Chains A and B, each alone.
Chain A
Amino acid sequence: MSQCVECGAVLSVPICCDHCGAIFDPQPGTDHFSLLGFSRAYALDEERLAQNFRRLTAKVHPDRHAQRSEEVQARATRLTADLNRAYAVLSDGVRRADYLLELTGGPTAAEERGVPGDLLAEVMEVREALEQARGVGDRRTIERLRQVNESKRRQTLDEIAALASGIETASVRQRRRLRLLLNALRYFENLTTELV
C-alpha cells in the first residue's frame, strides 16, 4: 500500500487519504476494483461495494474541495466521474463479468462478435413465431415463447457467473465461451422486452 504524499498515512484506497482527506489522481492502470477498494475478482460483497462507493464519493465530492486550488477542484470532479463509472460497472454482475474478461486479456466485445452455436437462427425463429402469433392474437404462444426465452436467459446468466468466478484459471476456450455468452445475452434481453 502506498502512503499519502501530504501526511504520510498509509492509503487504503488509491484516491484519497482517510487521515487528512487529501485526494489524488489514481496511478495509470488503476482498475475499477482497486479504485473502490476491492481485489480483482468476480465474487464481491455488494453491500460493502455500495458502502465504499458512498464513503469515497463523499470524500472526493467537489463541494468538499470548493476552497482548494483549481487543480484540486478539477481532480475532485474527475474522481467523482471515475467513481461513478467504476460503480456502475462493478454493481452490475454482467458488466462486472464483461469488464473482468477485458481486464484479464479478453477476448473483448470487438474481438469476438460470435454467439454460441445456432443462436442467431434460433432468435430469428422466435422473432418470426412472435410476429405470427401477434398477427393472430395468439397469447398462449407468446407466453410460451416468453417462458422459454426467460429460462435461456437465466441459464446464460448462471453460466456467465460461473465462468467469471473462475476467470483466473480459465482456459482460452472458457474465456471465449464467456464472451460468446455475454454476446448472447443481448439477444435474450431484446426478446424479453419484445415478448410481453
Chain B
Amino acid sequence: MAYSNKVIDHYQNPRNVGSLDQNDPQVGTGIVGAPECGDVMKLQIRVDDQGRVTDAKFKTFGCGSAIASSSLATEWVKGRTLEEAEQLKNTEIVKELALPPVKIHCSVLAEDAVRAAIADVRRKQEARTSAGAGAR
C-alpha cells in the first residue's frame, strides 16, 4: 500500500516531536493506544491562562500513518483554545492525509490523544481552582 505524499512528509519531517513536563500544571498529557496494532501515542499540550494551546508535542511509536496523524494533530491544536481543539475530528485528519480505510484507526488514535490531553489539563485546572478556593 502506498502512503500519500502528505503522510510521507509528516513521517520524514515530523512536526513537534518531543515531550513537555508532565508535572507542569499547565501541561495536559494524553497517552493512548490501539490494541489491534499495539501502537502507542503520547500527545501533550501546554495551555496559557486564557485557555489557549501555546505548544504541543507528541511521541508516537507505531506506523507511518500513526506518526503522521499525531504530527498533524499537534500542528492543528497549536494556537487554538481548548474548546476549539476539542472540535478536531479524525475525519479531518483522514481527509488531509488521504488515509486509506485500513489506517483510519490511526486518525482516531490522534483524536483520542488530543481529547485525553485536554481532559488531563482540565482536571489539573479544576484541581487548582478548588484547591485555591479551599485555601481562601
Contact = CB atoms under 8 A, between A and B. Distances in A.
Given A120-B31, A124-B59, A128-B59, A190 B38 contact: yes
Say what secondary structure dominates the interface of chain A.
Answer: helix
Interface in A79-128: 109, 113, 115, 120-121, 123-124, 127-128
Which of B34, B38, B42: most chain A CB closer than 10 A?
Answer: B38
B35 A186 contact: yes
Contacts of B34: 113
A169 B38 CA distance: 30
A115 B36 contact: no
A72 B38 CA distance: 42
A49 to B, nearest CB: 26
Interface in B33-74: 33-40, 42, 59, 61
Interface string A162-196: 00000000000000000000111011011000000
A190 B35 CA distance: 11
Contact of A127 (B32, B36, B37, B61): B61
Contact of A120 (B36, B37, B40): B40
A124 B40 contact: yes
A124 B35 contact: no
A124 B33 CA distance: 10
Contacts of B40: 120, 123-124, 127, 187
Interface residues of A, number: 16
A189 B35 contact: no
B61 A186 contact: no
B43 to A, nearest CB: 11
A131 B40 CA distance: 14
Nearest to B32: A120
Contacts of B31: 120-121, 124
A109 B36 contact: yes
Contacts of A127: 40, 59, 61
Contacts of A128: 59
A122 B42 CA distance: 12
Interface of A: 109, 113, 115, 120-121, 123-124, 127-128, 182-184, 186-187, 189-190
Complex A-B, nearest 4 residue pairs according to Cβ-Cβ distance, in ascending order: A190-B38, A183-B35, A186-B38, A127-B61
Given A127-B40, A187-B35, 20 more contacts: A109-B35, A113-B35, A115-B35, A120-B31, A120-B40, A121-B31, A123-B40, A124-B31, A124-B59, A124-B61, A127-B61, A128-B59, A182-B35, A183-B35, A186-B35, A186-B36, A186-B37, A190-B37, A190-B38, A190-B39
Interface of B: 31-40, 42, 59, 61
10 contacts: A109-B35, A120-B32, A124-B40, A124-B61, A128-B59, A184-B35, A186-B35, A186-B38, A187-B35, A190-B38
